[in-house]
Amino acid sequence: MAADKKNDKVFSCVDCGVLNCQKRTEQYPEFCLTTGLTEEEIEEVSRLYQNRVNKKISIISAEIEGEFYGRYTRVEEIIEFARRMGYKKIGIATCVGLINESRIFARILRLNGFEVYGIACKVGAFNKTDLGVREEYTTVTGNAMCNPIMQAKLLNKAKTDLNVVVGLCVGHDSLFYKYAKGVITTLITKDRVLAHNPAAALYQSSAYYKRLLAHPLPEDEGFLEREGK
């Protein structure tokens, strides 16, 4: 992280037009994070990669990328990853709105010899209003609160080898990642508007979704009022 002396703007990788870290044949920009790393930081991370599980995941991930680049779907990559890691029991943390997709995924996993244990987001649901959600925010989606912490706890209890997230809401997925143990990957990232392809908004940022770059999204005045801001 480096600052521009003229305006104190902090630059990072998203501001880089060189990406020399990928091929390492060009000159790094002055603010490059790679060149700014200390020996202590490099040594600390290098030690972490020597951890048995970390090293195995890194090697197998690179092998799958190199062997099946542009040929395997993400479903196939997850299966290949689980096989090479020696995983037997796959957990699925699914949104109830994508339960059909999770059922199909479970069938595919079982066909490939895996044991599957799926937990839906409404497991052990309680009322949103009991947690402090205002009633007007329950009129569209109902009052049953998603329970990603319980999803994580139940998958931990089931001792799954690998957990796969299927369409948890923004924020709910954060809580699941926070409390789930072990290795986690994501199959589907929810986007109700774009058929669960959130990258489409970025690809269309110069056309249909150019409004995303025209001005900031409006703030929720109700939230600001509730927080006393």
Q: Write down the pLDDT at residue 94.
A: 98
Q: Write down the pLDDT at residue 192.
A: 94
Q: pTM to 2 decimals?
A: 0.87
Confidence check: pLDDT of 178 > 60: yes
Q: Write 30-35 long-range contacts (CB < 8 A, 24+).
A: 30/2, 31/1, 31/2, 31/4, 32/2, 33/1
Question: What average pLDDT does the structure give for the chain?
Answer: 91
Confidence band, pLDDT 50/70/90 cuts, at residue 79:
very high
Query: For 23-33, how does the pLDDT look when each residue is reduced to its tens digit (9 = 90+)?
Result: 888 888 889 99
